[in-house]
Amino acid sequence: MNLSFKTVALIGKYKTPAIAEPLLRLASFLAEKGVEVAVDSLTAEHLGAHPYRVLSLDEMRGAVDLAVVMGGDGTMLNIARTLAPFGIPLVGVNQGRLGFLTDLSLDSMKRSLNAMLQGEFVTEQRMLLSVQVLRQDLEVCRALAFNEMVVHRSNIASMIECEVRIDGDYLYTQRADGLIISTPTGSTAYSLSAGGPIVHPALDVMTLVPVCPHTLSNRPIVVSGGSVIEVLMHRTGDVHARFDSHTHFDLQLHDRLVVTRHKEMVHLLHPAGHSYYHTLREKLLWNKSL
């Protein structure tokens, strides 16, 4: 059999012992198909004895053709940020609650991956955000975000104040509980909860969504993915920048955040016949009768 992917890495949700049984079951299935199986080093700590090669995420560069991520969307977000610069395509098996990004079920994973090994899949390329934090023109933080970058205060009784520029043009000075800068992937996450639009993942755009703005006329705005978004902090004190809710950085007065589209894309694979609109109907319960 001429397989599309000869070496497949398996990555499980961190520190989740329940992942061991389905992951080893999938590893055995792939090995029987003639696939060389590698297991992420952190995942391997929870598997017990097994015959598969163990690799760190960094060691997967150039060593694997496909990574299967077993967990929830949070797990996929974390892995995608790390593996995107390596050009490794990703498949998600959902063991979480929502599953916008991890669309294979435990019941269907063998059948779906068997078809993918034979070339039956569709590919999506999704953008990442690259964020720099500049303090007196010196870079003090650099991070990637697959869903969104959020500026917010820990104290919910007070607001942030920041100036926003797009490609050097002044947009507004925002007073709000926070500001979300979202990719199309992140449009169905925190951005959606804050009143932002749902954006098709194929679009090359970024969305700015204020969280509980002081002025009701401050609405979400969608800008080109090639834009340079600058956020200048005018009011601080327990203000943070968060990246996909996984990492954060403490901001100071006059810090400037520069947000651009990252040069690398995330490559997601889906079963043949995958439909984004079907996913929306299913995950947002649009197919339920009132």
User: Could you list the active site residues?
Assistant: 73
12 DSSP β-pair partners: 70
Q: What is the DSSP string of the chain?
A: ---S-SEEEEEE-TT-GGGHHHHHHHHHHHHHTT-EEEEEHHHHTTT-S-SSEEE-TGGGTTT-SEEEEEE-HHHHHHHHHHHGGGT--EEEEE-SSS-SS--B-TTTHHHHHHHHHTT-EEEEEEEEEEEEEEETTEEEEEEEESSEEEEEES-TTS-EEEEEEETTEEEEEEEESEEEEE-TGGGGTHHHHTTPPP--TTS-EEEEEEES-SSTT---EEEETT--EEEEEEE-SSEEEEETTTEEEEE-TT-EEEEEEEEEEEEEEEETT--HHHHHHHHTTTTS--
Collect all residues with Cβ–Cβ distance below 8 Å to 62 and sequence separation of at least 6: 86
